[in-house]
Structure 1
Amino acid sequence: MALIKSVNGKEPKWGKGCYFSENVTLAGEITMGDDCSVWFGAVLRADVNAIRIGSEVNIQDLACIHQSRSNPVILEDGVTVGHSAVVHGATIRRGALVGMNSTVLDGAEVGENSVIAAGAVVLQGTKIPANEIWGGVPAKRLKAVESGVSRTFADHYLEYKKWY
């Protein structure tokens, strides 16, 4: 069973149909919508601010979601956070994808349906518009992306969680 921890009287809450792998950690002020999945080894820690997660979000293996005193984490509906990615005090808008081993830092905002390429580093305070692919270190705009392309990953994980 996942490790679910209360911190300073605040505890994780989630909606219907969520799946948490056995070695996931959820700690503190986390709210999560319906049909989310959090996969093996992921850590969501909300001890000094909140983590707010919409519905149909998947947080893949070994990802780390952590807020900061001045910045909560917001993951809107249909977001995918890839394997070993770090989202720290950032906002990820509806249907966006944060690629494997990428990092999104405090105060950054990833626009609706945008994609952060694997290994990219989105610097503090960066504002990424909707429907763009960003990559590199530091991350820069690579090209436009069709609306809804990144959403296909969230749809896959709605199916995968049924297997578990």
Structure 2
Amino acid sequence: MTCYSLDGLTPVVHPSAYVHPSAVLIGDVIVGAHCYIGPLASLRGDFGRIVLEEGANLQDTCVMHGFPDSDTVVERNGHIGHGAVLHGCRIGADALVGMNAVVMDNARIAPRCFVSAAAFVKAGFECAEQSLVMGAPASVKRRLSDEELHWKQAGTREYQQLARRCLEQMQVCEPLAEPEANRPRISDSGLRPKNTGQ
């Protein structure tokens, strides 16, 4: 990872967290246990504090930033989809923010909520627990079912497993010129050769 101290504050990354080498962490950033931070994510703690609590994931090209004296927080087991922008907001425990969504300053997404892909959550927005939040500007559409919440939780567990896999196995390499014979496939939770029936 690319990591910069600023004004005497150095980012903190728990040893069990995985931060991709292309991610950038600046200043007042705290990454908790078993977190996953994907390629090209930017966590800019150059004004306010940036916090990912235990088990949270922040996927490719996400941005976390805030105004001075603000906290931008993803609580325990939060799940932030590719390209999302979080600015001075709080994402509750076990909540999901979809791909390319934007959540603005002082917004509070309650625990176990979903913010849909491409939603725009205005500054100061609040919602009840287990809500589906959609639109631009975003509003609460309905209560989430327990089945939907279980689907999200399974996905978050896959990212926690991915953090472990990356810490243990990911390494820089040169690409092959062509695929090898009987090339195995990667499943959601690890390398498993595909059954070819032979």
TM bucket, shorter chain: over 0.9
Q: Which runs of 5+ in 1 are unaligned?
A: none
More helix by share: 2
Kindly tell me the number of residue pairs found equivalent between the two proteins: 163
Please name the residue that 1:158 is paired with. 160
Cα shift readout 1:123-147 (whole Å, capped 9, x = no counterpart): 0000021101111100011211135
The corresponding residue for 1:82 is 81
Worse overlay, 62-71 or 112-121: 62-71
Deviation sequence 1:48-96 (CA, Å, 0-9, x none): 1111221001000000011211421011100011100000000011000
Moved over 4 A (4+): none
Distance in 2, matches of 1:151 and 1:77, equals 12
Unaligned runs of 5+ in 2: 167-198
State the distance in 2 between where 1:106 and 1:153 align: 27
The 3-state SS of whatever aligns with 1:162 is: helix
Identity value in percent? 26
CA RMSD of aligned residues (A): 1.2
Q: How does 1:56-135 map to 2 (within 5 A)?
A: 56-135=55-134
TM-score of the pair, normalised by structure 2? 0.79
Normalising to structure 1: TM-score of the pair?
0.95
Map 1:15-54 → 2, pairs under 5 A: 15-54=14-53
Q: Secondary structure at the match of 2:162?
A: helix
**Could you tell me which amino acid in structure 2 is paired with residue 163 of structure 1?**
R
> Whose relative contact order is higher, 1 or 2, with alpha carbons under 8 Å and at least 6 apart?
1
